[in-house]
Structure 1
Amino acid sequence: MTIFLGRESLMNENTGNDSTDGGSTSSGGTSEAGADLGTPSAGTPSNDVYAITVRDRDGRERDLSQWRGQVLLIVNTATGCGFTPQYEGLEKLYRTYHTRGLEILDFPCNQFAGQAPGTAEEIHDFCTLHYDTTFPQFAKIKVNGKDAGPLYVWLKSQPGATGRIAWNFTKFLIDRTGRVVARFGSRTTPEQMERSIAALL
């Protein structure tokens, strides 16, 4: 279920803790695919995300501050997952809304059943060949556990968006002020997010 902005809840696909590296949920959590569970937003705008540095697929450091003032959709992806076809919908969103200020940031992650194997170049070639993706793709990252990247540590600490990542294709939507306004589980398709994204642009 998608809750649109104006009556927005932050979507958590999982209520478990962040104690493991794998894809299984803790007791009391949802399925690995991540159903959307709405919780009230209590957050206030924060620009902390713009202080974070990530590595692009060529290994170069990139400051997220270069996307300050844009709407960001951050996704942990995998090329061998049942949700991999969501790349097609993500690219459609990007081509539709990029000129209005949407940026999609793609972070491949191999933590869930090893479904993102290969080098950065191989992953990029797969995505461009099968889905003609044009949005930025970054170096492979860990999203859970002690080795989780700083970006995902920050994302999972935001009010209403807390909790470990349950599976591939979890999406975080960040507004132009740097505030996480929605977290969507794997089962939420890009098409279902479109209205929420458009409302921020």
Structure 2
Amino acid sequence: MESNFYNLTARTPQGKDIPMSDFRGKAVLIVNTATRCGLAPQFEGLELLHQTYKDQGLVVLGFPCDQFMGQEPESNETLEQVCKVNHGVSFQLTEKCDVNGSNTHPIFKYLKNELGGLFGSKVKWNFTKFLIGKDGKPYKRYSPVTKPDAIEKDIQKLLL
């Protein structure tokens, strides 16, 4: 049975569709990001995972979100440039979205339903991470303070 994950779509900051079905057979790391968050140094770790494993089948997707104390002030027009210049980000970013509340992005609705966390279905803070296996099944959820290098062993396992 095909995963519901592959029926979902995100958009680039320019509004171009990013079908999750494009990532069949790849492991996907989804992260809600914010450029002004105290956890923003994690961008560098996420970029390192992207550079290290992209040729082995890892896709890193950053979903900018401004729901936590206004820590993502950038617009869709500026956030890619700010992430590239300030954090060296080359992995795919999406348009800004909500991860909680009535306007929750469908990908986060799905992931929170599949992998509830300590706070149930809520995303607690910026840099909550969700790892999806090559089969499109959500594998594991990581707290905002979990550094990207702490996820590396799980990524390696999924890429085998």
Q: Same fold (TM over 0.5)?
A: yes
Larger gyration radius, structure 1 or structure 2: 1
Aligned to 2:138: 180
Question: How many percent of aligned residue pairs carry the same amino acid?
Answer: 40
How much does 1:53 deviate? Answer: 1.5
Shift in Å at residue 121 of structure 1?
2.8
Q: What are the Cα deviations for residues 8-53 of structure 1, in whole angstroms up to 9, with x where unaligned?
A: xxxxxxxxxxxxxxxxxxxxxxxxxxxxxxxxxxxxx851011012
Unaligned runs of 5+ in 1: 1-44
The count of residues paired between Structure 1 and Structure 2 equals: 157
Tell me the TM-score normalized by structure 1: 0.75
Match of 1:124 in 2: 80
Note the residue ranges of structure 2 that are not aligned, 5 or more in a row.
Answer: none
Q: Give structure 1 regions of 4+ aligned residues with deviation exceeding 3 angstroms.
A: 159-162
Q: Is the 8 A contact 1:71 1:102 kept in 2?
A: yes
Paired residue type of 2:131: L
What is the DSSP-based 3-state SS (H/G/I as helix, E as strand, rest coil) of the residue aligned with 2:134?
Answer: coil
Q: Distance in 2 between matches of 1:100 and 1:75?
A: 19
| Structure 1 residues 51-66: aligned runs within 5 Å | 51-66=7-22
Q: Secondary structure at the match of 1:98?
A: helix
What's the secondary structure of 2:60's corresponding residue?
strand
Give the Å deviation of 1:62: 2.0
Are 1:57 and 1:140, in contact at CA under 8 Å, matched by a contact in 2?
yes
Which has the higher relative contact order, 1 or 2, with Cα contacts under 8 A spaced 6 or more apart?
A: 1
> Which structure is higher in helix share?
2
Q: Cα deviations across residues 120-166 of structure 1 (Å, max 9, x unaligned)?
A: 23211111102211111110010001110111111111055551000
1:46, 1:179 within 8 Å by CA — same for their partners in 2? no
SS in 2 for 1:151: helix
Take 1:194 and 1:53, find their aligned partners in 2: how far apart are those partners? 25
In 1, Cα distance between the equivalents of 2:124 and 2:2? 25
Output aligned runs, 1:59-138, within 5 Å: 59-138=15-94
1:191 corresponding residue in structure 2: 149
Match of 1:145 in 2: 101
The Cα RMSD (Å) is 1.3
AA aligned to 2:148 is: P
